[in-house]
């Protein structure tokens, strides 16, 4: 228990690890050239699945707002015999 994590006393041999240096990676490679085409492809792939939900949501919201506005108005025929 007296040794630290880096020096446990066990020597592991013949294990080779590979990694890519962070200085060699290009984080924004192809952002302006490949990304717009990739976005369009992904959107066009998902559009048939997403469009029915958005269209039905629009109709529900449109109907609800119209119905709400209609119910806020007074019916003038109810007050025709008041005076």
Domain ranges of the chain: 35-72
What is the per-residue pLDDT for 1?
54
Model-level pTM greater than 0.75?
Answer: no
Q: What is the pLDDT of residues 21-77, one digit of tens each?
A: 777 777 788 888 888 999 999 999 999 999 999 999 999 999 999 999 999 988 888
Cα-only R_g, the chain? 33
Residues sharing a CB contact under 8 Å with residue 40, sequence separation 6 or more, in sequence order: none
pLDDT recorded at residue 11: 73
Decide if 9 contacts 3 (C-beta within 8 A).
yes
Phi-psi sector, 10: left (phi>0), alpha (psi -120 to 50), beta = beta
Task: Return the higher-pLDDT residue of 4 and 77.
Answer: 77
């Amino acid at each position: 228990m007296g040794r630290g994590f880096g020096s446990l006393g066990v020597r592991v041999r013949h294990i080779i690890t590979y990694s890519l240096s962070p200085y060699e990676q290009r984080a924004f490679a192809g952002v302006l050239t490949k990304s717009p085409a990739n976005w369009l492809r992904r959107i066009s792939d998902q559009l048939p699945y997403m469009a029915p939900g958005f269209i039905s949501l629009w109709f529900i919201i449109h109907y609800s707002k119209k119905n709400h506005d209609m119910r806020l108005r007074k019916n003038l025929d109810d007050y025709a015999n008041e005076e």
